[in-house]
Amino acid sequence: EIVMTQSPATLSVSPGERATLSCRASQSVSSKLAWYQQKPGQAPRLLIYGASTRATGIPARFSGSGSGTEFTLTISSLQSEDFALYYCQHYNNWPLTFGGGTKVEIK
């Protein structure tokens, strides 16, 4: 099983600032990496797939990069609605696994 590790666990950022979230895989997952956003009491929402492709309707301030074992989700200028939990997930093989999440909170 591929272990996904996200850092930091919590990121404190001021509105308008840039946020950089990291995700590391225990072995290469090529570019088979997705990012999700989850707000309290809501289901997750797909943000990024293929490591860098934005899902339908996702604003351009969200961008993903990386391949192999190291990945990054960048939110270029945080809006109030972006404060949430973010999860990475690989889909290179079975079983699918998620990272433990990064909480982006208001500084």
Partner 1 sequence: QVQLVESGGGVVQPEGSLRLSCAASGFAFSSYGMHWVRQAPGKGLEWVAFIRSDGSKKYYADSVKGRFTISRDNSENTLYLQMNSLRAEDTAVYYCAKDPTVGGTLDYWGQGTLVTVSS
Toward partner 1, which CB reaches closer, 17 or 105? 105
Give how far Cα 14 sits from Cα of 47, 62, 82, 105, Å. Answer: 21, 16, 11, 8
Least distance CB 17 / partner 1 (angstroms): 25
Toward partner 1, which CB reaches closer, 83 or 87? 87
Least distance CB 28 / partner 1 (angstroms): 17
Joined together, the tokens standing for residue 39 give: 């707000």
Toward partner 1, which CB reaches closer, 61 or 103? 103
Least distance CB 86 / partner 1 (angstroms): 11
H or E element that contains 87 = strand 85-90
Closest CA to 38 of 91, 90, 100: 100
The torsion angles phi and psi of 36, rounded to 5 degrees, stand at -130, 150
Least distance CB 40 / partner 1 (angstroms): 11
d(CA 100, CA 23): 10
Binding site for partner 1 (CB under 8 A): 1, 32, 34, 36, 38, 42-46, 49, 55-56, 87, 89, 91, 94-101
